Amino acid sequence: MNATRGRMRGALLAAGRGLLLSVASLAGSLTLFVLTVLSIAFILLGIGLVTTPWVLTAVRRHANQRRLLAITWSDVRIPVPYRPLPKDVRGGFTGQVERTTLMLKDPATWRDIQWLMVDMTAGYVVATLAAALMIYPVEGFVLAAGLWRVYTDDRYWYAFVPVDSQASGLAAAALGVALFAAGVLLSERLLRAHFVLARSVLAPTHEQELALRIDRLTETRHEAVDTAASELRRIERDLHDGAQARLVAMGMNLGTIEALIEKDPAQAKKLVAMARASSAEALTELRDLVQGIHPPVLAERGLGDAVRALALRMPIPSEVDVELDGRAEAPVESAAYFAVSEALTNAAKHSGADRIWVDLNHVDGMLRISVTDNGKGGAATGKGSGLSGIERRLGTFDGIMAVSSPAGGPTMVTMEIPCELS
């Protein structure tokens, strides 16, 4: 019974999502396709050089939103294959020309345009079918309940059933039951088929994906080297300005104590107390330094308990749900821990939320983490945002991050790292 209710609930949810996707496919994709074609056509007139980067950016956002829905609604992962624009692109008209050229040279741009055509046709049909199988049966039930009387003089067709009497109304209801049963079985599969269809067009070829992966690994390797160098400089600075300075002062105090221990025992006792306090402070600073490098709770008890400990220290009530059957390698756990820490810190500082949920699980060779808050939304993901640091950290392990943060909330940060548990 519970399984049947769960299947019906899932089918109804899939129908609602299919309805939303059908609107987005027809209105959003159709509009963007027309604007894209017009903008590219007007390049020869000069107008398109200004409009094309804006239109293609909107297309990418539309495609990325579909990628996010694919992974969150149907667990279908669609890679993000766009080539990054150089940081030194100039402003003004010359910069617009350069952006237009770079974006049109990117193969992913043309896959996006092909996807718009597929999405507003086949994608629309599949999404609509997922919704119709659960919605259309309602009409059959209403006809059987008495609406058939409206059509006694003019026969009404419900699918292939002509309705003009109570008997034909009951036949329409029977067809509605059959369609509803089909919807319970197929709506979730049709929703997934919509995203699989999108992946077949949006995803790069195997060769392109390998080239992108090499470029990404090269970039993240450089970033990892720079991050490691800056982290080493931070550790050296903290040691020099903190624990080392206190240990030097403690050594000087011990030398003074050695000289005063017989001449002025009272002063020597004061210096001993100061040396003891300095040693305690130095030990605390060393522990804090180690905590910043690799938290002891992470090494001793694993990622799940380390994230729970993080949540306990948050100023906002936070719930943590962990479903891990083992432990990942230490570097992966460390990256995941600090990524969650950064996401929680951002939520506490900027979201205005009063509740945070963290979910950790491992499925199909992927460590998946989601951090959700019920705040105001509008989280930034650009180069200057705190979330960009999470992307760089995950990129070292070929991981990805997706952010859903509509105005008004909620905000969901989803992270994936390929790894195996032991």
Q: Which residue has the higher pLDDT, 386 or 315?
A: 315
Q: Is the pLDDT of residue 115 over 90?
A: yes
Q: Which of 91-100, 236-245, 321-330, 393-402 bottoms out in mean pLDDT, i.e. has the lowest?
A: 236-245
What is the per-residue DSSP string for 337-377? HHHHHHHHHHIIIII--S-EEEEEEEETTEEEEEEEE-S--
Interval 336-345: pLDDT, tens:
888 888 888 8
Tokens of residue 26, six digits: 């027809």
Helices (H), 158-205: 166-202
Please determine, for residue 245, whether its predicted confidence score (pLDDT) is greater than 70: no
CATH class of segment(s) 301-418: alpha beta
Give the dihedral of Cα atoms 124, 130, 134, 139; nearest 10 deg. Answer: 30
- What pLDDT is stored for residue 113 in this prediction? 94
Answer for the pair 172, 132: CB distance below 8 angstroms, yes or no.
no
What distance, in Å, lies between the first and last C-alpha atoms of the chain?
A: 36
Percent of the chain with pLDDT over 90: 19
> What is the reported pTM?
0.57
Segment 406-411 shows an average pLDDT of 79
d(CA 179, CA 173): 10
Q: Which residues of 119-140 are buried (b: 16+ CB within 10 A; e: fewer)?
A: bbebbbbbbbbbbbbbbbbebb
Residue 352 CB burial class (10 angstroms; 0-12, 13-18, ≥19) = middle
Tell me which of 91-100, 132-141, 347-356 is least confident: 91-100
Provide the pLDDT for residue 383: 46
pLDDT at residue 28, as a whole number: 92
Given this model, what pLDDT does residue 127 score? 94
Determine the pLDDT at residue 342: 83
Place 165 in a pLDDT band, splitting at 50, 70 and 90.
confident
CB 202 within 8 A of CB 118: no
Q: Kindly report the CA angle at 413 between 216 and 84, in degrees rounded to 5?
A: 25
Q: Across residues 92-106, what is the average pLDDT? A: 80
Give the pLDDT band (50/70/90) at residue 34. Answer: very high
The maximal CA–CA distance of the chain, rounded, in angstroms, is 122
Contact 47, 53 (CB under 8 A): no
Lowest mean pLDDT across 119-123, 196-200, 315-319: 315-319
Using CB atoms within 10 Å of the CB of residue 370, give its burial: 0 to 12 exposed, 13 to 18 middle, 19+ buried: buried
C-alpha distances (whole Å) from 17 to each of 125, 127, 131 are 14, 8, 8
Sheet containing 318-323: order of strands = 318-323, 356-363, 366-373, 411-418, 400-404
Query: Which pLDDT score, from 0 to 100, does residue 101 have?
Result: 86
**Residue 79: cis peptide before it, omega within 30 degrees of 0:** no
> What pLDDT shows up at residue 125?
94
Dist CA 108 CA 208 (whole Å): 10
Higher pLDDT, 274 or 209: 274
Q: Higher-confidence residue: 245 or 348?
A: 348
Report the distance separating Cα 416 and Cα 361, nearest Å: 10
Average pLDDT of the chain? Answer: 80
Residue 402 CA to residue 391 CA, distance in Å, equals: 9
Dihedral, CA of residue 311, residue 242, residue 389 and residue 299, to nearest 10: -50
Percentage of the chain modeled with pLDDT above 70: 80
